[in-house]
Amino acid sequence: MRTDKNRRTLCKLSDASGSIIAATTKQTSIYFCPCGLLEVAIPIIINDKYLGGFIGGQVKCIDAPDSVMRLSKNMIPGGANIPDTEIRADKVKDVDITDSKEYSYKEIVSIAKLVELIVNQLTKQELISGHNQKKNLNRISELEDKLKRLEYQNNSLKEKVNNLKRNENLFFMRNIFNMISNLAVIEDASKTNGAIMKYLECIESTKDVEKDNTIRNEIKKVEKFIELNRIRYSDRLDYNINFEKDVLDIKIPYSLILPFVYASIYYTLNTEDIGLLIDVKIVKVDNDIEIIISDNGTGKAITELEKAYEMYGENHEGNEIIQSLVDAQKFMIDTFGTDYRINTERIKGKGSKVYIKYPINFDEGFDYV
């Protein structure tokens, strides 16, 4: 029928009729074509919108119920003049349809439902994929804008660091300290000379912010700082730093331990007449580095200890110490989220403990939150 130019119109109208019925009812339509073969029209509907149709068939079926629609040859002009034996297949012996497969009506309905499920699932998957692609493109655009802002902020911070370096020339400071140290040697002031050299080493260790900061480097900074303060406070200060050897080359956020050690020394030894022992413990737990900084100080909160300095206003070391503690806390939460908040435990008269942890494979440019 489809190869005969005079009759193919009848087949096209048959397909169109089945599709229109499926689109109108928004349900699968099963019908007999004018040749008496069973066809199926499945509508493709997403979000209650008709997007197209799927036509399946044609097959022989001899047990279809009478309610199944049967299209007529009268659909085309002159169709009534076409002999039934040339277009009808319900009289199988009179027509050559040996290539057509035969199914029961129940089988046809089952196949139609399966095809309907597959077609709709594929269509939904394609729509979801398109939606996700658009969503991802928007996300990429947002990230590109964010990257530009971060690059600008990074360049601004680099410029500030460079300005600080220009204003605080390390070579100038080293030469001045060497000059003072030489004078101390000439005057036979060995303790003064030792203090000057330790201070210079401390400054040098804390000024190098460009290299990757490892736990090994951080420990050196803390040790140099404590050693310098041992000269300042004599035999009132002692410390222990315990760590596992396999953590030494792991990166650590810049100056994460030092502010808390500094606060412990300053607020304890300047407000209480006691000997201070600082203990730093660094361990690896699963995918995190955990740091515990404990002391045997007063156990009082810094806000309480600050009252002793009220008369000095902003003219004492405490203001910078507090700001460094605030900055450290803010950095940890902003970078890694509230799960990595720095926590402090205080027991009055017995001391305090600071609990710090951060992810081992961290990158300060990555958004963890």
Helix axes 258-269, 215-233, angle to 10 degrees: 10
**276-285 and 237-243 beta bridge pairing:** parallel
Q: Which of 258, 262, 188, 189 is nearest to 220 (CA)?
A: 258
C-alpha 65/C-alpha 82 separation (Å) is 26
| Domains assigned to the chain | 8-131 (no CATH), 230-369 (3.30.565.10)
C-alpha 88/C-alpha 110 separation (Å) is 25
Helices (H) then strands (E): counts for the chain:
9, 9
Sheet containing strand 351-359, strands side by side:
237-243, 276-285, 288-295, 351-359, 343-347
How would you label 73-112 residue by residue, b for 16+ Cβ within 10 Å and e otherwise? bebbeebeebeeeebbbeeeeebebeebeebeeeebeeeb
Contact (Cβ atoms closer than 8 angstroms) between residue 57 and residue 37:
yes
Query: Tens-of-pLDDT digits for all 369 residues of the chain?
Result: 777 776 788 888 888 888 888 888 888 889 988 888 899 999 888 777 788 888 888 888 888 898 888 888 777 776 666 665 555 544 444 445 556 788 899 998 998 889 888 887 887 777 777 667 777 777 788 888 888 878 767 776 766 665 555 444 455 455 556 666 666 667 677 767 667 666 666 666 665 544 568 898 889 888 888 887 887 787 789 999 999 888 998 988 877 898 899 889 888 888 888 899 999 999 999 989 999 999 998 888 877 877 776 766 666 777 788 888 888 888 888 888 899 999 999 988 889 999 999 998 876 445 554
Number of other CB atoms surrounding residue 352 within 10 Å = 23
**H-helix or E-strand containing 119?**
helix 105-167
Joined tokens for residue 321? 């110490």
pTM of the predicted structure, to 2 decimals: 0.49
C-alpha 255/C-alpha 218 separation (Å) is 7
